[in-house]
């Protein structure tokens, strides 16, 4: 059974229950139950109308659950409201659900968890495993999130920017447990891109984020060596990049840029596309990449962008220029020391570079980066 297909039906089924008058929290639980039931039943008894099946089962679950909580009269009201069996309505409330799950009143971790469950159709256990927390903790985080948005009106227009930030967070989490969060983020971003009006002011950024994800995902296999070590961009085997994913990302990006509503995700995707375009690291068009970093720095005030821009300056105008750009930045920025080490190495000062790599390794925020930076120091120490 295609679990991705099953889960792709989750938001529209949930939206139908909410439209019928179920409150969001109870409806979400009912849909989750129906999904679990589908995984059990469908392999031996596949339904003719999967979405209709899910709506029927979820609605029944919802009624069972509310029976004990609300008065009989309320339940009968709901039963009266139940539409006759038949084709499910075509109106798509998918986007409204995304807005709700990424509501500004939620913390980022709550918005991520609620999005993965309510629109992603993942189970609490899967989400907990992906974020390496106990299932009870994740269950609590999700139910608190649902209480937080309990009074939010479903039909209010929401903020696309917050939805994109949530999807970006999911994508960046990468892979742990049995759920590939990067693939899941791409699937959800596709769903938003399909649901949003192409004339929407934020359409370009939705497409830009989708392109950004596809372009980075294309490099994923090449990013790690067999022993788990990080392989930096210049050393990656470009033959292992996923050309289908790159081609799709570039096409989506070009269409987005043509709409002339530039935003940070489109600019980031443009940089990724220029890297993807180079057959070898030496052929990288750093001058154009630097122009995009300048554009990006105008769009956001992110220290990460300024740090990456210093690297681009180093490549486009030489390591001395890169070091000058770096000197203007706050030295306490994460990865500042790692960039300094790299630029000093390019400048030929291997002793200083080795010392800085060791210092950068000590400050590294994760083991993969720490091992990578230690290896860089070891490589230089072995050469001297």
Partner 1 sequence: MAKYLLLKHYRGAPAPVNNIPMDKWAPEEISAHITFMQDFADRLQETGEFVDAQALAPEGTWVRFDGEGRPPVTDGPFAETKDLIAGWMMIDVDSYERALELAAELSSAPGANGEPIHEWLELRPFMGAPPTITD
Q: Which of residues 37 and 173 has its CB atom nearest to partner 1 in the complex? A: 173
Per rule CB under 8 A, is residue 361 in the interface with partner 1?
Answer: yes
Q: Are 383 and 349 in contact (CB under 8 A)?
A: no
Per rule CB under 8 A, is residue 357 in the interface with partner 1?
Answer: yes
Q: How far is the CB of 248 from partner 1 (least distance, A)?
A: 33
Q: Which of residues 209-238 bind partner 1 (CB under 8 A)?
A: 225, 227-229
Q: How far is the CB of 230 from partner 1 (least distance, A)?
A: 11
Q: How far is the CB of 356 from partner 1 (least distance, A)?
A: 11
User: Could you tell me the two tokens for 304?
Assistant: 């990460």
Q: How far is the CB of 153 from partner 1 (least distance, A)?
A: 36
Q: How far is the CB of 345 from partner 1 (least distance, A)?
A: 14
Per rule CB under 8 A, is residue 384 in the interface with partner 1?
Answer: no
**Residue selected from 271, 326, 358, 360 as contacting partner 1 according to rule CB under 8 A:** 358
Per rule CB under 8 A, is residue 351 in the interface with partner 1?
Answer: no
Q: How far is the CB of 375 from partner 1 (least distance, A)?
A: 5
* Distance of alpha carbon 257 from alpha carbon 249, whole angstroms: 12
Q: Which of residues 143 and 381 has its CB atom nearest to partner 1 in the complex? A: 381
Q: Which stretch binds partner 1 (CB under 8 A): 105-113, 117-125, 185-193, 352-360?
A: 352-360
Q: Are 363 and 337 in contact (CB under 8 A)?
A: yes
Q: Which of residues 228-287 bind partner 1 (CB under 8 A)?
A: 228-229
Site size toward partner 1, by CB under 8 A: 19
Q: How far is the CB of 374 from partner 1 (least distance, A)?
A: 5
Q: How far is the CB of 314 from partner 1 (least distance, A)?
A: 23
Q: Which stretch binds partner 1 (CB under 8 A): 182-190, 191-199, 207-215, 366-374?
A: 366-374
**Residue selected from 66, 88, 143, 381 as contacting partner 1 according to rule CB under 8 A:** 381
Q: Which of residues 22 and 364 has its CB atom nearest to partner 1 in the complex? A: 364
Q: How far is the CB of 127 from partner 1 (least distance, A)?
A: 19
Per rule CB under 8 A, is residue 143 in the interface with partner 1?
Answer: no
Task: Spell out the SS3 assignment of the chain.
Answer: CCHHHHHHCHHHHHHHHHHCCCCHHHHHHHHHHHHHHHHHHCCCCCCCCHHHHHHHHHHHHHHHHHHCCCCHHHHHHHHHHCCCCCCCCCCCCHHHHHHHHCCCCCCHHHHHHHHHHHHCCCCHHHHHHHCCCCHHHHHHHHHHHHHHCCCCCCCCCCCHHHHHHHHHHHHHHCEECCEEHHHHHHHHHHHHHHHCCCCCCCHHHHHHHHHHHHHHHCCHHHHECCCCCECCHHHCCHHHCCHHHHHHHHHHHHHHHCCCCCCHHHHHHHHHHHHHHCCCHHHCCHHHHHHHHHHHHHHCCCHHHHHHHHHHHHHHHCHHHHHHHHHCCCCCCCCHHHHHHHHHHHCCCHHHHHHHHHHHHHHCCCHHHHHHHHHHHHHHHHHC
Q: Which of residues 152 and 222 has its CB atom nearest to partner 1 in the complex? A: 222
Binding site for partner 1 (CB under 8 A): 225, 227-229, 354, 357-358, 361-362, 365, 367, 371, 374-375, 377-379, 381-382
């Amino acid at each position: 059974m295609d679990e991705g297909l099953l889960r792709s039906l989750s938001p529209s089924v949930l939206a139908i229950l909410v439209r019928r008058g179920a409150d969001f929290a109870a409806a979400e639980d009912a849909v989750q139950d129906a999904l679990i039931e589908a995984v059990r039943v469908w392999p031996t008894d596949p339904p003719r109308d999967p979405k209709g099946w899910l709506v029927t089962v979820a609605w029944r679950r919802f009624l069972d659950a509310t029976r004990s909580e609300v008065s009989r009269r309320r339940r009968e009201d709901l039963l009266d409201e139940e539409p006759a069996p038949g084709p499910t309505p075509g109106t798509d409330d998918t986007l409204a659900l995304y807005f709700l799950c990424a509501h500004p009143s939620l913390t980022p971790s709550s918005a991520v968890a609620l999005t993965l469950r309510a629109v992603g159709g993942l189970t609490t256990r899967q989400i907990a495993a992906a974020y390496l927390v106990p299932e009870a903790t994740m269950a609590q985080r999700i139910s608190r999130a649902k209480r937080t948005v309990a009074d939010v009106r479903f039909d209010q227009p929401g903020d696309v920017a917050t939805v994109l930030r949530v999807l970006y967070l999911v994508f960046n989490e990468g892979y742990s447990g049995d759920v590939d969060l990067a693939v899941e983020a791409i699937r959800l971003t596709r769903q938003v891109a399909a649901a949003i009006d192409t004339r929407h002011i934020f359409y370009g950024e939705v497409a830009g984020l989708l392109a950004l994800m596809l372009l980075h995902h294309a490099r994923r296999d090449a990013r790690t060596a067999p022993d788990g070590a990080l392989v930096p961009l210049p050393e990656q085997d470009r033959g292992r990049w996923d050309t289908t994913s790159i081609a799709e990302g570039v096409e989506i990006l070009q269409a987005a840029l043509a709409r002339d509503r530039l935003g940070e995700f489109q600019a980031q995707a443009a940089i990724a596309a220029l890297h993807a375009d180079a057959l070898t690291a030496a052929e990288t068009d750093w001058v154009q990449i630097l122009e995009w970093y300048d554009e990006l720095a105008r769009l956001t005030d992110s220290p990460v962008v300024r740090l990456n821009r210093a690297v681009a300056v180093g490549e486009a105008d030489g390591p001395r220029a890169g070091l000058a750009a770096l000197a203007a930045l706050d030295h306490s920025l994460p990865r500042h020391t790692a960039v300094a080490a790299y630029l000093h190495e390019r400048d030929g000062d291997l002793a200083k570079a080795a010392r800085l790599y060791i210092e950068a390794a000590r400050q590294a925020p994760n083991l993969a980066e720490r091992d990578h930076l230690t290896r860089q120091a070891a490589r230089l120490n072995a050469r001297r």
